[in-house]
Structure 1
Amino acid sequence: MGNSIKLEHPPQRIVSLVPSQTELLFGLGLGDRIVGVTKFCIHPKEQVKQKTKIGGTKNFKFDVIDQLQPDLIIGNKEENYKEGIEQLQQKYKVWMSDIHTLDDALQMLQQVGQLTGTDARAAELEESIKSGFEHLKPLQPSIKTAYFIWRKPYMAVGSHNIIDYMLERCGFENVFSNLSRYPEITAKQLQLANPQLILLSSEPYPFKEKHIQEFQGICPQASIKVVDGEMFSWYGSRLLHAPAYLQQVIEQVKQEQKV
Structure 2
Amino acid sequence: MKELMDQMGTKHLFEYTPKRIISLVPSQTELLYDLGLEDSLVGITKFCIHPYHLKATKTIVGGTKKIKIDKIKALNPDIIICNKEENTKEIVEELSSVCPVWVTDVLTIEDNLKMIDDFGLLFNKRTEARKWIDKTHFAWEDFKKNIADKPIKKAAYFIWANPYMVAGNTTFINELLHLNHFNNIYENKDSRYPEVELRKIRLEGDPDYVFLSSEPFPFKDEHAFEIGRATHHAKTVFVDGEMFSWYGSRLVKAFDYFKKLHEKIA
- Report the TM-score, using the length of structure 2 for normalisation: 0.92
* 2:86 equivalent in structure 1: 79
Q: Following TM superposition, by how much is the alpha carbon of 1:2 offset from its aligned partner in structure 2, in angstroms? A: 4.1
Instruction: Render the CA deviation track for 1:3-50: whole Å, top value 9, x for unaligned.
Output: 211111111110001000000000011101100001111110012321
Counterpart mapping for 1:143-154 below 5 A = 143-154=153-164
Instruction: Render the CA deviation track for 1:132-162: whole Å, top value 9, x for unaligned.
Output: 1111133632001000000000000100010
Structure 2's unaligned 5+ residue stretches are 1-7
- Give distance in 2, aligned partners of 1:70 and 1:122: 22
Secondary structure of residue in 1 paired with 2:192: coil
Secondary structure of residue in 2 paired with 1:105: helix
* 2:65 equivalent in structure 1: 58
The equivalent position to 1:100 in structure 2, one of 97, 107, 110, is 107
Instruction: Render the CA deviation track for 1:139-191: whole Å, top value 9, x for unaligned.
Output: 63200100000000000010001000000000011001111211100012213
The equivalent position to 1:140 in structure 2, one of 142, 150, 171, is 150
- Give distance in 1, aligned partners of 2:63 and 2:35: 23
Letter of the aligned partner of 1:237 in structure 2? S
- Give distance in 2, aligned partners of 1:189 and 1:61: 41
Letter of the aligned partner of 1:143 in structure 2? K
Letter of the aligned partner of 1:183 in structure 2? P
Secondary structure of residue in 2 paired with 1:10: coil
Q: Does 1:185 align with 2:196?
A: yes
- Give distance in 2, aligned partners of 1:209 and 1:232: 20
* 1:171 equivalent in structure 2: 181
Structure 1's unaligned 5+ residue stretches are none
Letter of the aligned partner of 2:177 in structure 1? L
The equivalent position to 2:233 in structure 1, one of 209, 218, 221, is 221
Q: Does 1:199 align with 2:206?
A: no
- Give distance in 2, aligned partners of 1:9 and 1:45: 30
Identity %: 44
**8 A Cα contact 1:202 1:208, kept in partner:** no
Number of residue pairs aligned between Structure 1 and Structure 2: 254
**8 A Cα contact 1:14 1:73, kept in partner:** yes
Q: Does 1:158 align with 2:168?
A: yes
Q: Does 1:232 align with 2:239?
A: no
Secondary structure of residue in 2 paired with 1:148: strand
* 2:97 equivalent in structure 1: 90
Q: Does 1:19 align with 2:30?
A: no
Q: Which moved further from structure 2: 38-47 or 132-141?
A: 132-141
Letter of the aligned partner of 2:81 in structure 1? I
Q: Does 1:40 align with 2:47?
A: yes
Secondary structure of residue in 2 paired with 1:191: coil
* 2:5 equivalent in structure 1: none
Letter of the aligned partner of 2:162 in structure 1? K
Q: Which moved further from structure 2: 117-126 or 3-12?
A: 3-12
- Give distance in 2, aligned partners of 1:113 and 1:209: 43
Letter of the aligned partner of 1:201 in structure 2? S
Q: Which moved further from structure 2: 115-124 or 88-97?
A: 88-97
- Give distance in 2, aligned partners of 1:194 and 1:35: 47
Letter of the aligned partner of 1:205 in structure 2? F
